[in-house]
Structure 1
């Protein structure tokens, strides 16, 4: 029998947020077995935890969606790190996860984990027209805030819209694929400047409407700083994403 855990990330109650399957000891599994198990479990992502392969990492993972392997480990890193600490596989504190060529650094406890971003933080202006068309919206749905491509590592397209447009948005996966747009985040910022409602359409990653995404939540922090809602300097600057 192969033990596994189902973790519900980015939520305060069971069976909400993003469901993640974690296999804490997958060293004996090959690629075909991992793909079969991920398809059987059917969660958005399934993480197979492996021994560290390099001196600068505590453990290594391979991440599979039901449709196949993905090279990105940042989203699932939060649930994986907290699960490994809770099960006693790692001590609480700073941990480094290896996934493909990347490294994810986290502060983890048995109750949760914080993903740490560092490095160049570009924020590039982008044309809103194809983004609006991809979401089934029009220029009347936008705000005065700029759409930006930003994030730690691969940038995400962030499009600010009116709050009422979030529920009306209908993504067009074919148009997004034709435009080379793997993911699109619509965001509506509350008057307090530190609370955001968001929807993420990520058909390019096999998730048509993602209920929660760690890398995008981090990218939203960069957008808030770029638009002056959060300080751009060092410090503890908090915001909330729904």
Structure 2
């Protein structure tokens, strides 16, 4: 049998931008070892296998594989998967609900872009700056205004605000990160006037030396902005990331501290880079 697939750049500003994602459609004939083998062949940051949902609330189900094995989350890749499903005509534009394991994730999607909404994050934690600075090869003079926090709507990322000139000077040290039990460090400069963060994410704890774009950390920055103090009740901002890797990305975000729990969104484009078919032996399970 031949399974259709496509490669997309999640949050890419054009072809060869954003985080590389492989989406394998109509994958119900594949078993776990097939999926591992195909993901190893693609060598993308993540490979998603799209399956029929098993609960009525979901529009589709996924299994997600990284270089480390199967991921139980399916958060970051949900944007590219939703866009690919709408673009291929498998789902209509509008609300889509992804099932990954026992988790359901709602998005708004069309054939060009998708948006994730998250509500009520767990409390952020203040962090000592020295271990994070050492982990990325910077010193105290590189720090910028704002707290150093662990924050997020699921996994908590380690957020380090720095001066703009320090972004290019970052030299991550995986040994220090292991010693300090830092699976990731998100280094960013916040431009309040332009409502833009220029950022880099190093995540060796997730088998990613540097990620050109990440939805979850975009949500986490919304928590940081709220902790820092929002100028407006609802703030629209963007994250520019991936240029140092030659895969420029833009994440379009909001954080809303109005009535009710804190809410954040992250969204963007997912351009198609490649499409084709995978030849898979018939009868594989």
Tell me the TM-score normalized by structure 1. Answer: 0.93
Q: Which runs of 5+ in 2 are unaligned?
A: 241-285
Cα distance between partner residues in 2 of 1:12 and 1:193:
18
Deviates more, 1:123-132 or 1:78-87: 123-132
RMSD: 1.5
Q: CA deviation at 1:113?
A: 0.4
Cα distance between partner residues in 1 of 2:145 and 2:231:
17
Q: CA deviation at 1:37?
A: 0.5
Aligned 8 A contact 1:193 1:229 in 2: no
Cα distance between partner residues in 2 of 1:191 and 1:109:
30
Number of equivalent positions: 239
Deviation track 1:137-192 (CA, whole Å, cap 9, x = no partner) reads 11111123111111111211101011111111111112212322111100101141
* Greater strand content: 2
Q: What is residue 73 of structure 2 aligned with on the other side?
A: 72
Deviation track 1:37-65 (CA, whole Å, cap 9, x = no partner) reads 01101111110011112233221111112
Q: What is residue 35 of structure 2 aligned with on the other side?
A: 34
Q: Work out which of the residue numbers 226, 235, 238 in structure 1 matches 2:236.
A: 238
Cα distance between partner residues in 2 of 1:136 and 1:65:
27
Q: What is residue 123 of structure 1 aligned with on the other side?
A: 124
Cα distance between partner residues in 1 of 2:192 and 2:119:
28
Partner-residue secondary structure (3-state), 1:146: coil
Cα distance between partner residues in 2 of 1:28 and 1:10:
30
Q: CA deviation at 1:118?
A: 1.5
TM superposition outliers: structure 1 runs of 4+ over 4 Å: none
Q: Which runs of 5+ in 1 are unaligned?
A: none
Higher relative contact order (CA 8 A, sep 6+): 2
